[in-house]
Amino acid sequence: MATMVSEETGAPVHMDVEDGIAIIRLDQPGKPVNVISADLVTAMDDILRRLEEGEADASVRAAVILSEKKGTWIAGADIEQFKEFRTPADAEAASRAGQRLLDRLENLRVPVVAAIDGVALGGGLEVALACTYRIASDSPKTRLGLPEVNLGIVPGAGGTQRLPRLIGVRAALDLMLTGKQLDGRRARGAGIVDEVVPVAILPAVARQVANDLAEGRKEPRGAARRRSPQWMENLPGMRQLIFSKARQGVMSKTKGLYPAPLRLLEVVEKGLDRDLAEGLELEARAFGELAVTPEARSLVHLFFATTAAKNDPALGETAKPKKVDRIAVVGAGFMGAGIAAASAESGIRVRLKDVKPEAAAKGLKTARDTLIKRAKRKKARGFEITALTDRVEATTEYTGFHSADVVVEAVFEDVSLKQTVIRDVEAKIGAGTVLGSNTSTIPISTLAEAASRPENVIGLHFFSPVEKMPLLEIITHPGTAGWVTATSHAFGKQIGKTPIIVNDAPGFYANRILSPYMAEAALLLEEGVRMEEIDAAMTGWGYPVGPITLYDEVGLDVAQKAGKILAAAFADRMRPSSVLDRMVADGRQGRKNGRGFFTYDEDGKKGTPDESVYAVIGSPAAKTLPRAEIQERLGLMMVNEALRTLEEGVLRSARDGDVGAVLGIGFPPFRGGPFWYVDQTGAAAVLERMRALEARHGPRFAPAALLVERAASGERFFPDES
Ligand code: CAA
C-alpha cells in the first residue's frame, strides 16, 4: 500500500511520498516558468529539512525532482530579483544561499534523481548537478546550459565548480563561455545527464532509477566519471594550455569589454586546485561583484527588453494571430533562401519561387545546405535531416501559393518589380494570407499602393544571414490590418526571431540609425583617416565588426543605394559620401565580387585593407584621430538618430529601440542599446557631447529634440530599471 503525504496547493513545491520514493514537484503558481525565487528557496529549504530529519516519512529511501510546468524544469535564478541587488554583498549573499541549499541537496541522506523535461538553465542546471542522477527527456524543449555570461555574471550556485568536475574543464568552459544549450541527447554525450528517455516514461523511469539507487543496484555514470577524471586534462601543462587558449579566445571575441568570461576562467582555474567549499567561495565572490556591474545591468535590461518584445501584450488587443503552417517565398536569392531555411527549421512548409529554374534550384540548394549544416551541428539523425529538408520545395510558378498563410517577397530591391510581384501574388492568394515584403528601404505604403488588399501588406525585414540574425523588423503602414500585424509577429516568434514592430518611414528603424553611422565612417575616410583605424575604434567600442568591414559585407552598391534614399529623406544630416560613388564606379561591390575596401583571395577569404582604395577615393590617408574621437562621432551619431525615431513615432517604445539596435545591427550589448546608454550616461552629459560635436562638425550632429527634453527634465527612458 502506497504511503501518501500530500501538500496543500498554491506552494511552489509539492512533495508526495509513494512506496518510499519522495516525488518533489515544482510548479510556481502564477508564473510561466519555474524560477529560483525566494519562495521556491524557502519551500525547498523546508522539504530538504523534512527529508534530512526523516520527518516527512522515515521510510523515504530516495527522491525524484519533477516539474509540472510544460517546457520548463527550472529556468534558473529569478532574474527579476537581480534588479534588487544594490551592492556586491547583496548578490554574494544570494549566491551563498543558493549554494548552501544545493550543498544540502547533494549531501542528502537519500539519493535524488533529477527528472528533467523542459529547460534546465543556469540555477536550474545547477540544481540538477547537485542531484545524484540526472535523466533528461528527449523533448526538443529540453535544453540544458549555463547561460549566465550572457547576463554578465557567472553561475552562482555551484555550476563553476560542479560542471568542470563532472565533465572536464574543456567541455565545461565551452558551455559556460558560450551559454550554449544542449538537448537531452547532446547533454548525455557531454556527460551531463546519465540517461535520455521519452517524455511519456520519464516519471516512471525516474522512480525506477531512484529505487535502484536506493537499493544499491545502480550507480550514476557521473560518479564513475568523477573517480576517473579526464586523464588528458591532467597531463602536465595541459590545463594551463586549455586556460590560456580559452583566455585568448575570450579576448579576441570580447576585446576585454566583458568582465564575466574572464572572471569565470579565473574562478574555474583556481577552484580546480582547491576543494569544493573553497571553489564555491570564489564563485560567490565573483557572482557578487559581477552582478552589480554596469555590463550585467545592461545585459539584464536586454533580457527583459527582448522577452517583452517577443511577448508584446499590446498585440493581443489588436487582433488574434492566424496559425502559420505554410509559407511561400518569392525570390530564391540569399535572403529568400535564408527565410525559407529559418522557417523550415521551425516546422513550417515552404514554397520557394524564382523566375528561372536555375535560380530556384540554387535557392533550394542554399536553403537545404543551411538546414543540413545546422542540423548536423545539433547532431540530428539522418531521417530527421531528411524531414527538415523535405519541408522546402522550389518552383518557378505560383503553384501552392493558395495554401500559404504568409507570403514573403524577397526579390531585387526595385519598387516597380516589387509592386509587380505583389500584384501577381495577390492574384494567387486568398484574403486570409499575409503579404510581407523583405524590403530594407522601400516604404511599405508605396508597396501597398499596388495591392488591391493593402490591409494585408506588411514589411518583414529580415537581417542577413537570416538563420543567424535574431531580429525581425516588422513594418506596418497606416492601413495594415491588426490580424496581419499579429500574425507577422507570431510568425517571427515561431521561427525563433525577436520581432519589433515599427511604423513606416524611410529606412524604418534599423537602417535609419545605421545610415548616419555608416555615412560618418565614410566622412572619416574622406578626411584621411585610415580604414583599419576606423574599424578598430568601433570594434573597440563593442561592435562585432567595424563599419568599413560592414560596407564590404553589405555590398557597396547596396549601401550606396540605401544611403541615397536616406539622404533624400534627411538631406540636412545624411549627405551621401563621394567615397561610395567612387568605389562603386571603380567596380568595387565588397565581399560579393571580391573587390572592396579589403582584399579577398580566390576563395573569398578576407585579407588586409586594400591600400589602393585611398587613390580611388582621393584621400591621402594621412590623418590620425584619437580612437575616442572616432568612437564618439560614430557612436553618438547612431544614438542621437535612434532618439529621433522615437520622437517621430517610428518606434513604439525605447525598449524596441534597444532590442532592434542590439539584435539587428550589433550595437554593443554591454551598453544595453541606445536608449539604455542615454539613461546610464545621463541625457545631460550626452547632450553636452552632441553640442560640442555640432559646434565642431556642423548641423548633422544637432541633438534630437527628445534628447534636449530629457536632459532638461531628467526623465529616464527606463525609470523602473535604473
Ligand atoms: N527569471 C525571471 N523571469 C524569467 C526567467 C528567469 N530566469 N526565465 C524566463 N522568465 C520569464 C520571462 O521574462 C517571461 O516573462 P513574461 O511572461 O512576463 O514576458 C516568461 O518567463 C516566459 O519567458 P519567455 O517568453 O522567454 O518564454 P520562452 O518559452 O520563449 O523561453 C526560457 C523560456 C528558455 C526559459 C527563456 O525565458 C530563458 O532563456 N530564460 C532565461 C534563462 C536564464 O538565463 N537562466 C539563467 C538565470 S541566471 C542564474 O540562474 C544564476 C545562477 O547561477 C543561480
pLDDT in tens, 440-449: 889 999 999 9
Nearest ligand 1 atom to alpha carbon 76: 50
311 CB near ligand 1 (under 6 Å): yes
Specify the pLDDT at position 313. 67
Cβ of 546 less than 6 Å from ligand 1 = no
Task: Decide: 221 in ligand 1 pocket, CB within 6 A.
Answer: no
Q: Whose CA is nearest to atom 40 of ligand 1?
A: 75
The model's confidence at residue 241, banded by pLDDT at 50, 70 and 90, is very high
Give the pLDDT of residue 2.
39
Amino acid identity, position 485: T
Residue 154 CA to ligand 1 center (angstroms) comes to: 16
64, β-bridge pairs = 23, 113
pLDDT grade for 4, boundaries at 50, 70 and 90: very low
For ligand 1, what atom is nearest to the CA of residue 159?
53
Question: What average pLDDT does the segment 120-135 reach?
Answer: 98
Residue 382: exposure state from Cβ atoms within 10 A (0-12, 13-18, ≥19): exposed
Q: Distance, CA 151 to ligand 1 centroid (Å)?
A: 11
Ligand 1 binding pocket mutation candidate from 144, 307, 493 (most atoms within 8 A of CB):
307
State the DSSP string of 309-334.
HHT-HHHHHH-PPPP-SEEEEE--SH
Give the pLDDT score at 223: 54
Verify whether ligand 1 is closer than 6 Å to residue 155 (CB atom).
Answer: yes
Ligand 1 and 609: CB distance under 6 A? no
> Does residue 33's CB lie within 6 angstroms of at least one atom of ligand 1?
yes
**Residues with catalytic annotation?**
473
Q: Ligand 1 pocket: which of 36, 73, 79 to mutate (most atoms <8 Å of CB)?
A: 79
Ligand 1 binding pocket includes 76 (Cβ within 6 Å): yes
Question: How remote is the CA of residue 257 from the centroid of ligand 1, in Å?
Answer: 25
Give me the torsion for CA of 445, 450, 454, 457, rounded to 10°: -70
156 ligand 1 Cβ < 6 A: yes
Query: What is the whole-number distance in angstroms between the Cα of residue 81 and the centre of ligand 1?
Result: 12
Ligand 1 atom 32: residue of nearest CA: 75
Q: Judge if the beta carbon of residue 78 lies within 6 A of ligand 1.
A: yes
CA 722 to ligand 1 center in whole angstroms: 20
Share of the chain above pLDDT 90, in %: 85
How much distance in Å is there from the Cα of 708 to the middle of ligand 1?
36
Q: Which atom of ligand 1 is nearest to the CA of 126?
A: 53
Q: What is the pLDDT at residue 221? A: 67
Hey, which residues does 408 pair with through a beta bridge?
329, 436
Ligand 1 touching residue 62 (CB < 6 A): no
Residue type for 570, please?
F
Task: Give 461-473 pLDDT, tens digit per residue.
Answer: 999 899 999 999 9
80 Cβ below 6 A of ligand 1 = yes
Determine whether the shortest distance from the Cβ of 197 to ligand 1 is under 6 A: no
* Res. 6 pLDDT band, cuts 50 70 90: very low
Does position 1 have pLDDT exceeding 50, yes or no?
A: no
Cα 75 to ligand 1 centre (Å) = 6
Closest residue CA from atom 24 of ligand 1: 307
Instruction: For ligand 1, atom 20, name the residue with the nearest CA.
Output: 32
Is there an atom of ligand 1 within 6 Å of 125 CB?
no
CA distance 488 to 461: 11
Identify the residue whose C-alpha is closest to ligand 1 atom 22: 32
Q: Give residue 573 CA to ligand 1 midpoint distance, Å.
A: 41
Ligand 1 atom nearest to CA at 124: 50
From the CA of 95, give the closest atom in ligand 1: 54
Task: Return d(Cα 342, Cα 477) in angstroms, integer.
Answer: 25
Residue of the nearest CA to atom 39 in ligand 1? 75
Average pLDDT over residues 485-508: 96
Distance 375 CA to ligand 1 centre (A): 25
**Interval 448-462: pLDDT, tens:** 999 999 999 999 999
Q: What is the mean pLDDT of the chain?
A: 93
247 lines ligand 1 (CB under 6 A): no
Q: Does residue 118 have its Cβ closer than 6 Å to ligand 1? A: no
The CA–CA distances, whole Å, from 681 to 250, 289, 636 equal: 26, 21, 11
612 CB less than 6 Å from ligand 1?
no
pLDDT of residue 224: 52
What number is the average pLDDT over the span 35-53?
Answer: 92
C-beta of residue 283 within 8 angstroms of C-beta of residue 271: yes
CB 138 within 8 A of CB 184: yes
Which among 130, 88, 475, 144 is positioned nearest to 289, based on CA atoms? 88
Residue with cell 560579393: 592
Please name the residue whose Cα sits nearest to atom 38 of ligand 1. Answer: 75
| Region 207-234 average pLDDT | 77
- Summarize pLDDT for 559-594 with one digit per residue, the tens: 998 888 888 888 878 877 799 999 999 999 999 899
CA of residue 35 to ligand 1 center, whole Å: 8
- What's the 304 CA to ligand 1 centre distance in angstroms? 9
Mean pLDDT of 126-144: 97
Distance from the Cα of residue 614 to its chain's centroid? 37
- Predicted confidence band of residue 225 (pLDDT cuts 50, 70, 90): low
Distance 334 CA to ligand 1 centre (A): 33
Alpha carbon of 116 to ligand 1 centroid (Å): 16
Of 617, 643, 608, 665, the residue nearest 716 (C-alpha): 643
Give the pLDDT band (50/70/90) at residue 380.
confident
Question: Could you tell me if 67 and 74 are in contact, meaning their C-beta atoms sit under 8 angstroms apart?
Answer: yes
Enumerate domains of the chain plus CATH numbers.
13-292 (3.90.226.10), 326-507 (3.40.50.720), 511-649+652-719 (1.10.1040.50)
To test the pocket of ligand 1, the residue of 28, 31, 33 to mutate (highest count of ligand atoms within 8 Å of its CB) is 33
Please say if the pLDDT value at position 294 is more than 70: yes
Mean pLDDT of 145-156: 98
- Closest ligand 1 atom to Cα of 304: 13
Tell which wins on pLDDT, 67 or 11. 67
Q: How far apart are CA 494 and CA 339, in angstroms?
A: 12
pLDDT at 695 over 60: yes
Show contacts of 698-702: CB within 8 Å, 24+ apart. 699/572, 699/573, 700/516, 700/520, 700/572, 700/573, 700/574, 700/575, 700/637, 701/573, 701/636, 701/637, 701/640, 702/572, 702/573
pLDDT at 7: 45
Atom number in ligand 1 closest to CA 179:
44
- Averaged over 369-376, what is the pLDDT? 93
Tell me which residue of 370, 374, 461, 376 sits closest to 413, measured CA to CA: 461
**Residue nearest ligand 1's atom 18 by CA:** 308
Ranges 3-7, 153-157, 555-559: which has the least confidence = 3-7
Model confidence band, residue 8 (pLDDT cutoffs 50, 70, 90): very low
Q: What pLDDT is stored for residue 58 in this prediction?
A: 74
